[in-house]
Structure 1
Amino acid sequence: MASARSSLSRDRRRAEMREFLRSRRARVSPADVGMPEGGRRRTPGLRREEVAVLSGVGVSWYTWLEQGRDITVSEEVIDAIARALLLNAAERGHLYRLAGLNPPRDAPAPAVPTSPELRRLLDSWLPRPGYVRDRHWNFTAVNDMAREVFGYGETDHNCLVSFFTNARYRTLHRHWAETAPQVAAGFRADAAHYPDDPEFDRIAGDLAAVSPEFAELWARHDVAEHTSAVKAVDHATAGTLVFDATLLPLPEHPGHHLILHNPRPGTDTRQRLEELMRRRSLVVAHPG
């Protein structure tokens, strides 16, 4: 049964490959790729032999590929065909998958500052805590209540580093020891998405040198991916606060996440937060 399903999957890929290549070929004119028109054409787009020439493969081989025959395809050939057909990044990845190959990973996107829209969102989220972190878990924006509730100071620039080195955060976090393995495993899982980015190793190496707990956990090579968590903190003024934390990816900034904390139902966290926010406002309005 498994073999039959595998065969059916291959047949579907070949059928999709056939239609995909034909449709992409039809939309590219000879002029688009610097070739002469070559006389009257019965169908729009490039001819098969022109794609073969542009890709550096034999005409018969390319014909077999477009017909969906069972032939071996290399990454180099897929890249050559993608260039010949002027495929964009999404189409190139699709072609890789149709050929039964894993698409190459994209180069890491550069870190970008948090947009004014996201900063306004964080401010409007008050009195609930929220922040934005980049792919290396660096904070790019933190609202005032996140600093107050979790003990983040002006020297806290990285979520992972703060978790293991910020003594105030560690004291506040009710389940720090139980959560630490998940945090280290989450960072390793994120690093795996960017195998050519040395910054993850630098951050982990520097942190392992100053945090024995992190060094021990990092050496386990555990990985875990999650989009939600429950956080409980014992705040000196507000008392026990329990949150549902949700990680929301920001597609326009690959690797960046918006982390929002909502008072957990069944607790009085919302009321405690509102009272804490009121006290902070009074202190700001009447310092000293």
Structure 2
Amino acid sequence: MTSNDLGDFLRARRARLRPVDVGLASYGRRRVAGLRREEVAVLAGMNGDYYARLEQGRERSPSPQILESLGGALRMDGQAREHLFRLAGTAPEGGRPQPRETVSPALRQLLDGHRTAAAFVLNPAHDFLASNALADALFSPFGHMDSMARTAFLDPAARRFFTPWERAGEAVVAGLRHATGLYPHYRRLHDVIASLSEESEEFAALWSSHSVHGKSRAVKDLLHPDVGPLTLSYQTFDVRGAPGQQLVIYQAEPSSPSDRALSLLGSLHAARSRRATTDR
């Protein structure tokens, strides 16, 4: 992380809010988007000069009470507030172990047991650590599906696969930002962020927005070249006993067109795998 991540985050969150969003009247012409520093200070009940020092990186040890006030003033949700605390070094890190890069046999067995859902395991850098057969089929349009983040921004097929692509890109970036708060010293995560910032202008622009949230549960619309449109819900689970690993499961509504398409996709992928094995 940079030397003033806390200030950058506060500034970005301030720029996203208008006076009307926080119940303030707007007077005069504004030179920059969002709230003024003085307005944030008033909302948080603190001295304006102190808040300015926080943004400028001249004050680096705000109390938990100050952070709570800022989180409320800037309308942060739970995950953004958690990220704020971690940037300030206040939330207990507790000697958090570094992410584990290998998937246990038991977890791999669990993946393979999901025959009607696409299941895979990611690390905090959004690298694929393991996947089941249906996940392999789902992501088959991509040449090398080793990194969800790099694929989303650098593989041309992603623009057609994720619909709309913009929403998928924003979700990837926000997830990576959330991970930097949880694992600030994880080298792989920072390597991915640095390389994507250089290789993708869109990633760099989204990264500078400082959006932050982890994966939880949502719906994705996909367009697969073999079976057409798919509407899949996904859920994400932290893997106990394997720091940093997340189990992600994509599934369709039972008996829906997407359910039938997903089943067909699995059959097509299995047939291709059998032919490939026979031709060897």
TM-score normalised over the length of structure 1: 0.59
Tell me which moved more, 171-180 or 209-218.
Answer: 171-180
Q: Is 1:129–1:144's contact at 8 Å kept on the other side of the alignment? A: yes
Q: Deviations over 1:184-204 (max 9, x none)?
A: 112101111122334322211
Which 4+ runs in 1 deviate beyond 6 A?
Answer: none
Residue range with higher mean Cα deviation, 161-170 or 186-195: 161-170
1:234-245 correspondence to structure 2 within 5 Å = 234-245=223-234
1:213 is aligned with what amino acid?
E
| Equivalent pairs, count | 188
Partner of 1:130: 119
Residue 143 of structure 1 pairs with residue 132 of structure 2: yes
CA distance in 1, matches of 2:172, 2:132: 21
In 2: Cα distance, 1:149 partner to 1:104 partner = 36
- 1:104 positional shift: 4.1
Q: Distance in 1 between matches of 2:274 and 2:255?
A: 32
Aligned counterparts of 2:273 and 2:185: Cα–Cα separation in 1: 46
Aligned-partner SS, 1:113:
coil
Alignment counterpart, residue 172 of structure 1, candidates 155, 161, 172: 161
- The RMSD of aligned alpha carbons is 2.3
Report the counterpart of residue 159 of structure 1 in structure 2: 148
Partner of 2:263: 274
Deviates more, 1:262-271 or 1:224-233: 262-271
Summarize deviations over 1:123-145 as a string: whole Å, max 9, x none. 22124211001122221102232
Matched, 1:224 2:213: yes
* Identity of matched residues, %: 24
Deviations 1:97-155 (A, max 9, x none): xxxx7534424325241112221222221242110011222211022322322336563
Separation in 2 of the partners of 1:168 and 1:151? 10
Partner residue, 2:191: 202
The 3 A distance-change label for structure 1 pair 198 and 269 is same
**Distance of 1:196 and 1:283 partners within structure 2:** 42
Offset of residue 160 of structure 1: 1.3
Structure 2 residue identity aligned to 1:234: L
Look up the SS of the partner of 1:167 in the other structure.
coil
Amino acid corresponding to residue 166 of structure 1 in structure 2: D
How far the C-alpha of 1:275 sits from its partner, in A, is 1.9
Partner of 1:90: none
For residue 212 of structure 1, what is the aligned residue in structure 2?
201
Q: Which gives a bigger RCO, structure 1 or 2 (Cα 8 Å, sep 6+)?
A: 2
* Mapping for residues 1-288 of structure 1, pairs under 5 Å: 102-151=91-140, 153=142, 155-264=144-253, 267-286=256-275
Structure 1 CA distance for aligned equivalents of residues 269 and 234 of structure 2 = 23
> Quick check: 1:227–1:248 contact (8 Å CA) kept in 2?
yes
Query: In the TM superposition, what is the alpha-carbon distance from 1:158 to its structure 2 partner?
Result: 1.8
SS in structure 1 opposite 2:210?
coil
Query: What CA distance in whole angstroms lies between the structure 1 residues aligned with 2:185 and 2:272?
Result: 48
Shift of residue 228 of structure 1?
Answer: 1.0
Q: Residues of 1 paired with 2:233 and 2:110: CA distance?
A: 18
TM-score with structure 2 length normalisation?
0.61
Cα distance change, pair 191–145 in 1 and its aligned pair in 2 (3 A): same
Q: Distance in 2 between matches of 1:272 and 1:156?
A: 21
8 Å contact kept, 1:151–1:169: no
Q: Match of 1:132, SS?
A: strand
1:39-95 per-residue CA deviation (whole Å, 9 max, x = no partner) reads xxxxxxxxxxxxxxxxxxxxxxxxxxxxxxxxxxxxxxxxxxxxxxxxxxxxxxxxx
The aligned counterpart of 1:97 is none
In the superposition, relative to structure 1, how do residues 254 and 211 fare at CA in structure 2: closer, same or farther (>3 Å)? same
Which runs of no fewer than 5 residues in structure 1 stay unpaired? 1-100
Counterpart Cα distance in 2 of 1:245 and 1:235: 17
- Judge which range, 141-150 or 184-193, deviates more: 141-150
CA distance in 1, matches of 2:121, 2:105: 12
SS in 1 for 2:234: strand
CA distance in 1, matches of 2:177, 2:271: 42
**For 2:176, what is the secondary structure of its paired residue?**
helix
| 8 A contact 1:132–1:142 mirrored in 2 | yes
